[in-house]
Structure 1
Amino acid sequence: MPETRVVVVGGTAGVKDVLLHHSLRNTVHGLYLALHDLTLHTPPRTGNSRLKKILPKEAASVSERVWVYRRCLYCNNGKADVQLIHKWNLTSSPQHVDDLFFGGQFRNFNGHKIRFSALRFLPYNDYTPDSKEPGSTATFRDCLDARLLSVLALKLNFSLEVREQPQRTWGTNKDGKTTGMLRQLQREEIDIGGAMGSQTYRMEVALFLRAYKADVLSIVSLKPTLLPQHLSVIRPFSGELWLLLSVSVVLWGVTLWLQQRVWRWFAGGQGVKLTTALLHSLGTLLERPPSNPSDNDSGRLLIGWWLVFCLVITTGFRSSLIAHLTVQGKSPPPETFEDLVARSNWKWGIEHWMMRGMPRQYFTQHTHPVVRKINKEMQVLTAAEGLDKVKKGSYSLFSPSYHITIVINSNYTDNFGQTPFYISKDGIVGLAAIGWSLRKGVPYFQRLQQLISQLEDAGIIPHWTGDIIAGRVKENRAAATLQQQAALAITVHEDDTKLVLGLHHLQGAFYLLFLGCTIAYLTLLVENFAHSRSWSL
């Protein structure tokens, strides 16, 4: 608890030994009241225990000087030291004590060295090791950590020692035994650990400082494919609407036929055949109705309402058909876990490095049946292997949105910005926040939190994120030729010119024409066969 006020009273000999003791290494406010030859009187044990008053004769023989020393964290070239701030006399007037606990120690760190442990996690952290030895010093590449630390170091005047995490892992905490970066924080070998997600077992041994917007887990699949043109004629209506419309045609025809039979039974006259009523129902819907089969008011009223219904249906179909013929539809890509589970013969995988951190806990401990099914059938593989399977179809890859955007834009995108892959829009939120982990007791936690919150509120960190992703993609694409990078399976070129309808757009209409002619021909054969049988009998 670095903000705890610590006040020590003693002689003048042990000032530095006390205020610079290792147990006070994180203490922000530490005072030492050094008494110069002041006798401490212990009152006798009596019934009413009260402090013994010093008689004037005794007080006159006692020096009443008190020197006040304060512990400062970084005043000695970034190291702790002791400052004399007051020389008091107990018999003088009341002393000014407003500046005893100085609140401005974190305005200038005077070159204090902060030890930072780096672990590669784009776009948050990236570096180049200075040697091949585990735990060697490292040099930041352009990343969020590098920009944040450079701004903070300039503002607070501290130096930085960046080292690669030796095991290249964030670490675990089981039964109080920590590993990886968590172990370094617990043993105070480092001051700040690189970007990681906030988890309960991590916050048991370290402080968590939210530094960035949490990345989401995206679903990478093939881009939506163009729907077949020969189905453009039936695509304006959904399957349920086509079924309901067909049932309506039959029911209305049967209703008209029954109504006319009832009218004939009561009033006499010529009735309507069932085939005639059905053909009138269908012909009206096709805007080619036959002659009016009813000569009574009730039948005309029924036909009138059917005409209004057909007007609404045909108007909606015609406008939707024009849109579908002009802009070819595409198949919907999977956006959620439910979409993946609902597809038949669909498989999915996740990058192997993600199963060492927060996503592993998310999938293994989630109670939702869909997430459990996803975890049960999920494959663990590299990004290149996963994207190769995605290109073959019926496969999706789980990966952080920022990371996979850099990979796809760098290696699987051509000069026109076209790529065969589709990244889900919303993604799955698996992390509450991403930020730094600090060793417990670090005194400048609140100061860093304040400055980072100001950068976040000003929109600086989101701007940096987009800028780093774009810069890394440009750097990766410049490192190799586009012919070697762009391994595209599908490339779609679109222009803004007016669309001219061709045979491939209207092929569905010709299919319907051929189908109708075939059905009519077969009907003709059945009619001729039935007529010849009745004539022979």
Structure 2
Amino acid sequence: MFQQSFPIWGSVTVTCRTFLIDFTGGGDEEILRFLETNKFYEKPDSRVLMVGRKRKARSAIKNRTFRNNINTLYLGLQEGAIDRLISESRTSTVGERRISQDAHEFQAGVETREERGFEDRVSIYSGCPYCDDGQIKVLMQGSWSIGSKIPSKDISPIINEVKNLHGYLMRIISIAFTPYADYIQNKDGPGGIVTLLDSLDKRLIEIFAPVMNFSFVVKSPPDMSFGSRLPDGSWTGVHGAIYRKEADFTTSVGPSSQRLEIVEYERTVPVDQLIIVSLKPQPLPQYLVFLRPFTVGVWVCIVLAIMIWGTTFWLLQRVRSNFTGEEPITFNSAIFYSWTVILEDPPITTPDDISGQMLLCWWLIACFLLMSGFKSSLVAHLAIVAQSEPINTYRDLVTQSNWKWGIEDTLLTGMVIQYFSQNVDPDVRYIYKLNEKSSPAEGLKRVLEGRFSFLISKNRITTIIAQIYKKEVGETQFYLGKKGYTVASAMGWGVRRGAPFRPYLHKLISRLIASGIMDYLVEDVVHLKILQSKAEARRHQQQQQIMEAKQDDLLTAESEDGNPQVLRMVHMMGVFLVLVCGLTIASIIFCVERFIQRNSRHNEKRCSD
């Protein structure tokens, strides 16, 4: 009779759908099976008008096929009226004659069927969602005679949204995802009832519960996961509970193309950006502080300038000696002459010729400017400890030498995987290729060990750091990257498809977002958790230990009383290393010279013999 795959929904642009279902001719089970196959229960806003026998009104309205519909009317006819209508409709001429006779009798005010004792009254029934302990309650709206006008005052108006759930026990499935959802697992363990802790979702549920008049119970999934689709089409985790209709909605989860096939999302969480967590920039080694005033390029240019000036000076003096007959300066002496000038200790004697004096004059000016810049920069580097460059962007991360990174394991699902694996930026794909999946606690531990960064959402990591390292007073050793990356469009509650309460829930959530209250709630939850962690840290009396550790830090640029810092061995170690290297090189050259002289004397002695 029915094609099970027949598209009953028509164009997607149609916003109002009304179904007229005739149960008077039988075939009830086949009709209901057809509607169930086409997922009629996923369209709660569809309007249903059923016509059938009065005794079947209750069972029809409460049928599972219409469990989510909020506008359901049933016209119940008496048995005799249905039998007579069926018999009269067999012949069109008879039916037309009776209808014409009925209209004539009504207009003329003569005696109607009801006055003649026929059972021609129609009873009107409607369904009230959640009115019967969370189930549909069948309400009697009234009745009227077939030959009279329909009493519109007895029929309830069309319902656009369900606002009152009449104390319905809302089944919520949740997985901890601080600061959006947090709870304590009860004795039942995974899959059992949990007690919500202060979080965004807890506050939202407590706001909506009295407004929509529902109670709630929160459970965790048995496998403690957000859920993914299995090869057989079933689902795991919180989405599996929604798929099996074991829960009405979830706490904050992320959408994906597959998940959207089984749930409808209500955005509750503002966009939370992905950031890079690393150790705070560390002080650079102080034994190289005397090299930091200039970059490597500048140092190379200075060495080349010394060599070029010394060579030029030697050539000019060599040419001059050809004309004057004086003994020319040696090349080594010319190079050492340029060194002594830049070290602000020039020889007492100066060139006699004007060309040599001009060359020396400009070299003195250049050396003065170089040494002025070197001294001022060296003082600054000694007063303020230089630190390594912070890691803020993907480019900063991939350019680090001998560096590793990880991404939070709960993020590597759905749209986040698509963001990394299909991104046009090669740095993003490279990060995903070499990432080491870690839990937040494990990732932060590896960050503290050094040469490791962790990618996680900003609000989440701020709360987690406050909770895990709650015994630390003041700032932690973690550096949160300044650059944020939008990975997912939003997070929100996953509502089971066809839930009658979803339109009103959507309206309430939209009001909170539009008014800015949602952003305030997120910031307040994060701020409160940080304050609680700091209060607990003070109870553990850790402030004194941290202050002592800071006082023992040799790399502090300036003491608290403002006195300048005395240079220690850690600052001057580089100078002594240069001295040691110089002595070592000089000793090697001395040994080479002695070896050459010894061989030379030995050869001369053999030749003389």
Partner residue of 2:104? 57
| Whole-Å separation in 2 of the counterparts to 1:474 and 1:420 | 15
Decide whether the 8 Å contact of 1:34 with 1:67 is kept in 2: yes
How much is the aligned-residue C-alpha RMSD, in angstroms? 5.5
TM-score where L is the length of structure 2: 0.65
Deviation by residue 1:51-93 (Cα, 9 ceiling, x = unmatched): 9974532655467987765433234455433456687788669
The match for 2:68 is 26
1:8 aligns with one of 40, 46, 49:
49
Report the alpha carbon displacement of residue 115 of structure 1 after superposing the two structures with TM.
0.5
What is the rounded CA distance, in whole Å, between the counterparts of 1:230 and 1:11 in structure 2?
95
Q: Secondary structure of the equivalent of 1:71?
A: strand
User: What stretches of structure 1 of length at least 5 have no aligned partner?
Assistant: 530-537
Of 432, 439, 444 in structure 1, the residue corresponding to residue 501 of structure 2 is 444
Could you tell me whether the CA contact under 8 Å between 1:139 and 1:162 is conserved in 2? yes
Structure ranking higher on relative contact order (CA contacts 8 Å, 6+ apart): 1
Out of 484, 496, 503, the residue aligned to residue 567 of structure 2 is: 503
| Superposed CA offset, 1:207-251 (max 9, x none) | 122221354555444332211223333323332344355556766
Larger Rg: 2
Deviation of 1:328 after TM superposition, in Å, equals 0.6
CA 11–202 in structure 1, closer or farther in 2 if over 3 Å, else same: closer
CA distance in 1, matches of 2:123, 2:544: 74
Deviations 1:341-384 (A, max 9, x none): 43333334456666677766666666765555545554455555
Quick check: 1:173 aligned with 2:229?
yes
Q: Partners in 2 of 1:229 and 1:131 — Cα distance?
A: 55
Residues 248 and 495, structure 2, Cα contact 8 Å, conserved in 1: yes
1:168 deviation in Å? 1.4
Classify 1:78/1:352 alpha carbon distance in 2 versus 1 (closer, same or farther; 3 Å).
closer
Q: Secondary structure of the residue that 1:171 maps to in structure 2?
A: coil
In structure 1, C-alpha distance between the alignment counterparts of 2:374 and 2:72, rounded to whole Å:
81
CA distance, structure 2, for counterparts of residue 116 and residue 167 of structure 1: 16
Identity among equivalent positions (%) equals 30
CA contact (8 A) 2:290 2:574 kept: yes
The one-letter code of the counterpart of 1:179 is: T
Does residue 102 of the first structure (1) align with residue 159 of the second (2)?
A: yes
Match of 1:229 in 2: 286
The one-letter code sitting in structure 1 at the alignment partner of 2:104 is K
Contact 2:306 / 2:339 at 8 angstroms: preserved in 1? yes
User: Following TM superposition, by how much is the alpha carbon of 1:439 offset from its aligned partner in structure 2, in angstroms?
Assistant: 1.0
Q: Which runs of 5+ in 2 are unaligned?
A: 1-41, 115-119, 595-609
Change in Cα spacing, 1:247 to 1:16, as seen in structure 2 (3 Å) is farther
Residue aligned with 1:470, SS: helix
Which residue of the other structure, out of 195, 204, 227, is the alignment partner of 1:139?
A: 195
Change (3 A) 1:82 1:374: same
Residue 238 of structure 2 corresponds to residue 238 of structure 1? no
TM-score by structure 1 length?
Answer: 0.73
1:195 corresponds to: 252
DSSP 3-state at the match of 2:527: helix
Q: Is the 8 A contact 2:70 2:129 kept in 1?
A: yes
Counterpart for residue 205 of structure 1: 262
One-letter code of the match for 1:127?
Y
Q: Which residue of 2 aligns with 1:533?
A: none
Asked if structure 2 preserves the Cα contact closer than 8 Å seen for 1:218 and 1:427, the reply is: yes
1:142 & 1:487 partners in 2: Cα distance?
31
Distance 1:21 1:309, change over 3 A: farther
Q: Where in structure 2 are the equivalents of 1:394-433 lying within 5 Å? A: 394-412=451-469, 415-426=472-483, 429-433=486-490
Please give the residue correspondences for 1:61-460 in structure 2 after superposition, counting only pairs within 5 Å: 61=112, 69-76=125-132, 78-83=134-139, 100-103=157-160, 105-106=162-163, 108-132=164-188, 134-175=190-231, 176-244=233-301, 246-247=303-304, 320-349=377-406, 370-371=427-428, 373-375=430-432, 377-380=434-437, 386-412=443-469, 415-426=472-483, 429-456=486-513, 457-458=516-517, 459-460=519-520
Check if 1:473 corresponds to 2:520.
no
Is contact 2:467-2:529 (8 Å) kept? no
Contact 1:257 1:272 in 2 (8 A): yes
**Match of 2:70, as an amino acid?**
V
Distance 2:181 2:521 in 1: 14
Q: Which moved more, 1:176-185 or 1:218-227?
A: 218-227
CA contact (8 A) 1:208 1:436 kept: yes
